[in-house]
């Protein structure tokens, strides 16, 4: 069986599977994604499966499931504070691509020019996004002391650039979950890469908080979705740089 046939088969499976899952998602009474979000997820899912196979698909599906579940943690508390996610947590196309565009680029890169660094970047981008989501949602619901990352002065939960101990710990666990899944399916090849993805996610998530505290309110074009894209790109880049310099250390 030649390679071109196998490649074509992967894309056919991707189209069929995502069409079935998309149809099911449209029929569910409680939607994780909006209708337009489901259509965009259909395209994203085809890209990921076609480029990375079931392994890459399982990682991003795990992010979607866990991330959607996290948004419902302490839902009543967040609603009472007026800081709950809009649309009952259902994600639209802007949320989807803000979270997954970096991962999609890494997946396409791996398909065009295979290199383990693309896979590390892919897993790290999703580790970073789940870290951000988990830190934000747990911090908003259960953060006992929420402070601005630039001044360390107490602020209300949900303030741009606000962080809490509870949210930070939750974020580390969130990133670790995705990194472990990435390792379990073989996209990451060593326990060290799990650590690198987790470290990268922690750094990137705090950089995002800095952006939120210093720049986001000044510029209307700096939307949450764009900041999410920047966040995941930083996370992927840091993990790739750590992996690269671990393999090829610089000698002074």
pLDDT in tens, the chain (252 residues): 445 545 678 889 999 999 999 999 888 876 678 888 899 999 999 999 999 999 999 999 999 889 888 887 766 665 656 655 555 556 788 888 999 999 999 999 999 999 999 999 999 999 999 999 999 888 887 777 888 888 888 887 777 888 888 899 999 999 999 999 999 999 999 999 999 999 999 999 999 999 988 888 788 888 889 999 999 999 999 999 999 988 766 454
Per the CB < 8 A criterion, the answer to whether 203 and 180 are in contact is: no
Token reading at 59: 């990682």
Per the CB < 8 A criterion, the answer to whether 215 and 168 are in contact is: no
Calculate what percentage of the chain has a pLDDT beyond 70: 88
The candidate with the shortest Cα–Cα distance to 171, out of 76, 116, 235, is 235
Show the DSSP H helices in 113-164 as ranges.
116-142
pLDDT tens profile 162-176: 888 889 999 999 999
Confidence (pTM): 0.89
Q: How close are the terminal C-alpha atoms of the chain, in Å? A: 50
Between CA 222 and CA 212 the distance in angstroms is 9
- What is the per-residue pLDDT for 1? 46
């Amino acid at each position: 069986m030649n390679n071109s046939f196998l490649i074509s088969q992967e894309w056919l499976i991707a189209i069929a599977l995502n069409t079935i899952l998309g149809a099911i998602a449209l029929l569910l009474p409680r939607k994780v994604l909006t209708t337009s979000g489901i259509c965009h997820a259909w395209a994203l899912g085809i890209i990921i499966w076609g480029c990375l196979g079931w392994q890459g698909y399982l990682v991003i599906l795990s992010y979607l499931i866990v991330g959607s579940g996290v948004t419902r943690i302490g839902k009543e508390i967040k609603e009472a504070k007026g800081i709950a996610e809009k649309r009952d947590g259902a994600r639209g196309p802007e949320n989807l691509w803000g979270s997954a565009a970096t991962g999609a680029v890494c997946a396409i890169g791996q398909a065009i020019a295979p290199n383990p660094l693309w896979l590390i970047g892919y897993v790290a981008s999703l580790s970073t996004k789940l870290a951000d989501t988990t830190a934000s949602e747990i911090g908003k619901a259960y953060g006992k002391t929420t402070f601005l990352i630039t001044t360390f002065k107490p602020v209300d939960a949900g303030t741009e650039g606000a962080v809490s101990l509870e949210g930070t710990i939750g974020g580390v666990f969130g990133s670790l979950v995705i990194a472990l899944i990435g390792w379990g399916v073989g996209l990451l090849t060593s326990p060290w890469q799990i650590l690198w993805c987790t470290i990268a996610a922690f750094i990137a998530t705090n950089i995002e908080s800095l952006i939120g505290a210093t720049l986001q309110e000044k510029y209307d074009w700096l939307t949450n979705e764009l900041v999410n894209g920047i966040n995941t790109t930083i996370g992927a880049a840091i993990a790739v740089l750590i992996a690269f310099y671990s393999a090829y250390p610089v000698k002074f």
